Amino acid sequence: MLRNILASIAVLGATVSIAALGTFATFTSSTEASQSAVSTGSVSIALGTPGPANRLTLGASGLLPGDTMQRAVNLSNTGVASSDDLGSVTLTTAATVSSLLDTDATNGLKLAIDKCSQAWTESGSSPAFTYTCGGTTSTVLGQRPVVGSELALANLASVAAGQTDHLRVTLTLPVSAPNAMQGLSSQLTYTFTGTQRTATDK
């Protein structure tokens, strides 16, 4: 009798164990997809190489009240796809060597930028170049004090990938410049910054 009872308990335990194992078994099915590459665009602008496509590297000397200084420069969006279009381009100007020429907002140097629909025609001898436009001109930056931060530039074709703008940067010493500005010197830097287009669905 005892042996039969023990045998029955052992069989019952085995049955419970097998049943317990069965509760962890599941049916499964899987499928997958392989996505093609996900890649990023780029934001890339550049100025022309020094020469007729970039005269910003040239300074000027002997300015008197009323004189102007013209410098041509090409600004290009070097992106290659429409995803590389820009939302905007800004200009920051700063003086690494400073004087009243850049700190006097009223009587100091004034900056203006316009563009030509084709390359500017250059005349004169270095560094006193002048430029005429054989196409149409438009204003990129209206005249303002020479030093400024993140100045919005208008009418630029180079917000589109692969496009180039032919710019003319003009500095003017106002006729109101006082005697205190005689013999002064400033050194300027021009930083063009392109910002990506508005985010969109892809």
pLDDT digits (tens, 9 = 90+) for 183-195: 999 999 999 999 9
Tell which wins on pLDDT, 19 or 144: 144
> What is the token pair recorded at 82?
């429409």
Count Cβ atoms within 10 A of the Cβ of residue 56 and give its class: 0-12 exposed, 13-18 middle, 19 or more buried.
middle
Question: Using the 8-state DSSP alphabet, how is residue 124 labeled?
Answer: S
pLDDT digits (tens, 9 = 90+) for 24-34: 678 888 889 88
HSE (side-chain half, CA atoms, 13 Å) at 19? 6
Could you tell me which of 110, 80, 119 has the C-alpha nearest to residue 172? 110
- What's residue 19's pLDDT? 47
Q: What is the CA radius of gyration of the chain?
A: 35
Which of 7-16, 17-26, 78-87, 101-110 holds the top average pLDDT?
Answer: 101-110
Distance of CA 124 to the CA centre of its chain: 33
Gap between the Cα atoms of 46 and 33, Å rounded? 40
In one-letter notation, the amino acid at residue 153 is: L
Q: pTM of the full predicted structure?
A: 0.82
